[in-house]
A = this chain, B = another copy of it.
Amino acid sequence: MASDEFDIIRRYFNAGTLAFPSAEVALGIGDDCALLRPQSGMELAMSMDLLQESVHFPSAADPFLLGKRSLLVNLSDLAAMGARPLCFTLGLCLPRVDADWLEGFSRGLAEVARANGCPLVGGDMSGTQAGATTICIQVQGEVPAGQALRRDGAKPGDLVFVTGTLGDAAAGLGVLQGRLGESLSAARREALLEAFYVPESRIGAGLRLRGLASACIDLSDGLASDLLHVLNASGVGAQIDLQALPLSSALQAAVPTREQQDLAVSGGDDYELCFTAPSARQQAVQEALTDAGIPVSCIGRITAQKGLVWQQSGSPVSRQWQGYRHFVAAEGER
């Protein structure tokens, strides 16, 4: 059995499968700081995400899948900037030492780290008197100076695109919590669960969108919430066609049409990219992604008129959606 934090780090985290060497990492785990050697002409992109037991994942979550998911959701932020992953750091608060959990979690991290060339280089570990596991990951990546895909570049007339399909992860969480999907085939249940636990890495999409997309964001809180960040940052509005939202066959089999739209619009955790591009680049965008096997759909258009308008059969619909926001419930009436 692991006996203290240093043993745990040595055994599960400072292993060659997870903390592997990389050209840009001058010094990894084991000193006061890790040292990165960025290439000249590059900007360093950084993003931190917290995952809390009972808030972001259920207590019974499979540790291997949770490990994969924890790193994938962070890499999604690099993808949204068009950055190439370099390395990550891990903060872990554990209520107890559970060798099986640590083995599965670190193996899940390692699988995603290796697939994305993104080794673990440092972090911190702590016991906790609160009962919940907390995972904090920061990813570091690089992007040529001035080429990052930001939120503030959308222009009126640009088209709005998303990668993959929407709503699957929220449906997967419903399956996991026993709220839906009882009549689904095993394969479709599995597809939805997989969408929740193991979002696609869209790093390749982000790299291919450099020079093509005018703005980009990853969908963590749901399209309704995340697209608004792009619109607000860019000072524009958008019209989105509900019928153009890409829906998987598993989602369509799982819930009625209206609920499919709800999950696609306001369900979180898809970690697909939502981006804008001038209409003159539509063909280039679609070729760049589909040539790499990345599904992409045009779902609407940026408008000079601010606000987000949802349309169906060419007419605005009056339904309102909102993504997940922390602390809203705690405040009572709003």
Contacts and interface: CB of A to CB of B under 8 A. Distances in A.
Interface stretch (A140-148, A172-180, A238-246): A140-148
Contacts of A77: 32-33
Q: Report the contact-size class of chain A (Cβ under 8 Å from the partner).
A: 35 or more
7 contacts: A32-B216, A32-B217, A46-B121, A52-B93, A54-B128, A128-B134, A130-B132
Contacts of A83: 33
A45 interface: yes
A83 B54 CA distance: 38
Contacts of A326: 4-5, 125-127
Contact of A126 (B6, B55, B126, B140): B55
Contacts of A123: 48
A48 B2 contact: no
Interface stretch (A34-42, A163-171, A183-191, A262-270): A34-42
Contact of A327 (B4, B151, B216, B331): B4
A56 B334 CA distance: 35
Nearest to A216: B32
A202 to B, nearest CB: 11
A30 B124 contact: no
A96 interface: yes
Contacts of A218: 32
B130 A52 contact: yes
A312 interface: no
A77 B126 CA distance: 17
Interface in A290-334: 325-328, 330-331, 334
Nearest to A131: B130
A38 B129 CA distance: 39
A138 interface: yes
A134 B38 CA distance: 31
A233 interface: yes
